């Protein structure tokens, strides 16, 4: 049944190791995050005497029974003090205007004996007779003005009829009318006028809801280490509530909470796994996922340890003891800023779960890890790391000030002591990172840019040997370094790795330097005296011999990989063609004349392969011109792609085009036309000689 388990190939073994690392990380982080939620089971009842002082094991903010009563009272007060919102009922307005219009129309169109009976309820017979006796123009003007006054009164909103206001409006608007007509208009308006304001319950409820949402609720806060009850004190109901809120009172482990934490942890770690797989699918995936999970777990564990009883001032925010910046620094140096950001975000989420999903904790840790990542992105020297720690500490202070202002903290001592811890957090993180970084490099066999810069010193023993024993190869390596570094910068690859890798990529030629064309300074070519197959073996062997030298001189694995991959499985076409010509038959396969590989696995290895081939090829061009250089570069790129040499590295077509453009730009700068100084000197000399022939008689006074 298990026999197949012992016959796994390398890729299958890596996959099982990844599954194991993911599963182990999920389980460990779930256990760490859940541990504060495990109840302590304090068996005390009201009026019992506490046998010892009991303190809060962690920070907690909750709504006690008294808080709920006070908050409910405040809510009722808000509801009762907010006046209702009224809106004008347009239907009532329209009905009033219509009725007044009909009233005037009825009087205008009917004789006295035919008038509707309701008119007598509004006007006396004398007023009605007088109204009918006025001219039609005056009648229509009175109608229009009466309607206008009514509209004005209605538009301002009417809760109840104020006759004094109506009378004033009529007298002011109808000053030019006779008093009797003013009285008639007043009687008509007051008869038909009615309240038109109704309560807008929806708008009123919305205002009440907004007022309630802005209410600062009363809560009970206990800081970590703060006493809940002292030894010898009698227990009261409020203290029992605190025990319950802290999950310390007659509780059983909540498997629902455990499952929720497990789901959160599983989703977070799977997102991290997929992210790294997407960006680093072909190279170092196992190494990077294990490193990220280790850093994640260590920081979450530190977060859990910060919740243990400590002897720090009660005003200090506990999460300032968590050196969150360590994760960003380590992962930015060892892997990339992308992985540092996503891992830092997950750490911030997981630790905030430890602190009862506190938003303050999450926002501080998240902002700090983001700022750290961008701060150390260009920290190439180890001294830059310490300087970054000071910047991070200063940034942390600003974060704490913001958190204090949002929480309406007014104590200057609170700001002072937390600012001190926040600054120390950044500096301490930098110092710890500087101390442990070499061990992580060694453990995961990852080379940082800082280590590469130390190897970039041209006084390295191997490079000095290369300069003395194979000067042509040395100059070739320097040129390849310039090409690959510029290309890497143009596509966002690791330009430092490309430069240092270029310095060492051909160290295998040190064993037989004269067999390589760049080191042949005479017309004698040793390959002319030996068989093509022997020549092939010598040339191909320089890759393996270079890798052996890298191991012997303890060069980082990443440089050894570049040495092995910089030719991929390319064909030695010159000796392959010579072998066919001399042996008179075509071999069944050209594998014997190909490098053993592997093909480039990273962008940097792909860049180095192209730079190496292009630099070597352009040296062979006779009467070099920009067009010849461009044609040669195009041919090299096409040959490498047709031969599938770049099929295993993550270079996109767009990036390959950018690399080609970078090479062309550099070569145009190197091969630009220069002034022919020999001809210029000869020209100047000829001018000097001609001036010597001038006689004094040739000089005329001015």
d(CA 382, CA 375): 13
| Residue-wise pLDDT tens digits, 335-359 | 889 999 999 999 999 999 888 788 8
Cα–Cα nearest to 454, from 377, 546, 551, 554:
554
d(CA 324, CA 624): 56
680 bridge partner residues = none
| Residue-wise pLDDT tens digits, 116-159 | 777 777 888 888 888 888 888 888 898 899 899 889 888 888 88
CB 290 within 8 A of CB 447: no
In the chain, where the domains are located: 9-24+253-446, 86-199, 469-677
Cα–Cα nearest to 518, from 480, 475, 481, 549:
475
Highest mean pLDDT among 397-411, 525-539, 602-616: 602-616
Q: Residue 545 has which token pair?
A: 């011999």
- pLDDT (0 to 100) of residue 74: 87
d(CA 167, CA 190): 9
Higher pLDDT, 390 or 188: 390
| Residue-wise pLDDT tens digits, 266-286 | 999 999 999 888 877 555 678
- pLDDT (0 to 100) of residue 3: 47
229 bridge partner residues = 54
SS3 249: strand
d(CA 696, CA 583): 81
CB 617 within 8 A of CB 632: yes
Is the pLDDT at 694 greater than 50, yes or no? no
d(CA 85, CA 199): 6
- pLDDT (0 to 100) of residue 316: 84
- For 469-677, the fitting CATH number among 3.30.70, 1.10.3210, 1.20.120, 2.40.160 is 1.10.3210
Sign of CA dihedral 602, 603, 606, 612: negative
Q: Tokens 């250089």 identify what position?
A: 629
Highest mean pLDDT among 187-201, 559-573, 687-701: 559-573
Class of domain 9-24+253-446: mainly alpha
HEC string for 519-550: HCCCCCCHHHHCCHHHHHHHHHHHHHHHHHHH
CB 25 within 8 A of CB 293: yes
| Residue-wise pLDDT tens digits, 459-470 | 999 999 999 999
DSSP state of 489: H
Phi, psi (degrees; rounded to nearest 5) at 113 = -80, -10
What pTM was computed for the model? 0.64
Cα–Cα nearest to 452, from 400, 383, 393, 499:
499
| Residue-wise pLDDT tens digits, 197-254 | 888 888 888 888 888 877 777 888 887 778 888 888 898 888 888 887 877 765 555 6
- pLDDT (0 to 100) of residue 1: 43
CB 417 within 8 A of CB 315: yes
Output the DSSP codes for 586-641: --S-SGGGB---PPP-SHHHHHHHHHHHHHHHHHT-SS--HHHHHHHHHHHHHHHH
What mean pLDDT comes out for the span 559-587? 84
């Amino acid at each position: 049944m298990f026999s197949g388990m012992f016959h796994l190939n390398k890729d299958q073994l890596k996959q099982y190791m990844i599954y194991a690392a993911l599963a182990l990380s999920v389980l460990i982080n779930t256990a760490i995050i859940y541990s504060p939620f495990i109840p302590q089971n304090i068996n005390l009842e009201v009026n019992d005497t506490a046998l010892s002082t009991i303190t809060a094991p962690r920070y907690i903010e909750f709504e006690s029974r008294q808080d709920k009563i006070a908050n409910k009272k405040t809510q009722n007060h808000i509801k009762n003090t907010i006046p209702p919102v009224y809106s004008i009922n347009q239907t009532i307005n329209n009905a009033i205007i219509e009725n007044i219009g009909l009233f005037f129309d009825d009087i205008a169109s009917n004789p006295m004996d035919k008038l509707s009976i309701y008119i007598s309820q509004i006007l006396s017979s004398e007023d009605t007779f007088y109204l009918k006796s006025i001219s039609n123009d005056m009648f229509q003007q009175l109608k229009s003005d009466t309607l206008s006054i009514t509209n004005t009164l209605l538009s301002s909103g009417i809760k109840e009829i104020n006759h004094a206001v109506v009378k004033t409006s009529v007298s002011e608007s109808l000053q030019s009318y006779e008093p009797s007509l003013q009285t008639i208009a007043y009687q008509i308006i007051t008869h038909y006028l009615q309240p038109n304001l109704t309560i807008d319950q929806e708008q009123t409820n919305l205002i009440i809801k907004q007022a309630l949402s802005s209410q600062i609720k009363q809560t009970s806060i206990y800081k970590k280490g703060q006493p809940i009850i002292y030894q010898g004190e009698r227990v009261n109901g409020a203290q029992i509530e605190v025990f319950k809120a802290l999950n310390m009172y007659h509780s059983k482990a909540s498997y629902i909470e455990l499952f929720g934490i497990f789901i959160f942890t599983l989703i977070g770690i799977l997102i991290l796994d997929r992210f790294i797989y997407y960006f680093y699918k072909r190279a170092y995936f196992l190494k990077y996922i294990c490193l990220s999970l280790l850093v994640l777990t260590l920081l979450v564990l530190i977060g859990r340890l910060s919740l243990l009883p400590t002897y720090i001032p009660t005003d200090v925010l506990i999460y300032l003891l968590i050196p969150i910046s360590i994760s960003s620094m380590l992962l930015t140096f060892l892997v990339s800023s992308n992985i540092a950001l996503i891992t830092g975000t997950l750490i911030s989420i997981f630790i905030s779960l430890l602190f009862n999903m506190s938003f303050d904790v999450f926002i501080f840790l998240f902002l700090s890890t983001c700022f750290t990542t961008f701060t150390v992105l260009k920290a190439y020297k180890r001294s830059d790391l310490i300087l970054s720690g000071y910047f991070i500490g200063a940034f942390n202070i600003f974060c704490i000030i913001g958190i204090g202002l949002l929480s309406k903290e007014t104590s200057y001592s609170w700001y002072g002591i937390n600012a001190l811890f926040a600054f120390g957090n950044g500096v301490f993180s930098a110092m710890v990172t500087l101390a442990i970084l070499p061990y992580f490099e060694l453990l995961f066999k990852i080379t940082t840019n800082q280590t590469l810069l130390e190897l970039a010193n041209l006084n390295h023993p191997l490079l000095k040997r290369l300069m003395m024993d194979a000067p042509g190869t040395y100059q070739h390596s320097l040129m390849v370094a310039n090409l690959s570094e510029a290309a890497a910068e143009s596509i966002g690859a690791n330009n430092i790795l490309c430069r240092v890798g270029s310095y060492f990529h051909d160290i295998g030629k040190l064993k037989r330097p004269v067999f390589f064309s760049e080191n042949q300074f005479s017309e004698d070519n040793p390959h002319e005296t030996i068989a093509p197959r022997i020549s092939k073996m010598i040339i191909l062997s320089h890759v393996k011999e270079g890798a052996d030298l890298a191991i012997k001189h303890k060069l980082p694995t990443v440089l050894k990989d570049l040495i092995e991959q910089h030719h991929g499985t390319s064909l030695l076409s010159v000796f392959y063609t010579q072998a066919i010509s001399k042996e008179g038959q075509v071999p069944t396969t050209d594998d014997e004349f190909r490098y053993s590989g592997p093909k480039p696995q990273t962008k940097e290895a792909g860049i180095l392969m192209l730079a190496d081939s292009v630099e070597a090829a352009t040296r062979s061009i006779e009467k070099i011109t920009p067009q010849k250089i461009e044609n040669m570069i195009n041919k090299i790129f096409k040959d490498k792609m047709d031969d599938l040499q770049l099929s295993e590295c993550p270079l996109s077509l767009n990036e390959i085009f950018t690399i080609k453009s970078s090479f062309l730009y550099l070569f145009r700068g190197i091969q630009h036309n220069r002034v022919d100084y020999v001809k210029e000197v000869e020209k100047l000399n000829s001018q000097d000689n001609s001036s010597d022939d001038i006689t004094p008689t040739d000089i005329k006074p001015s």
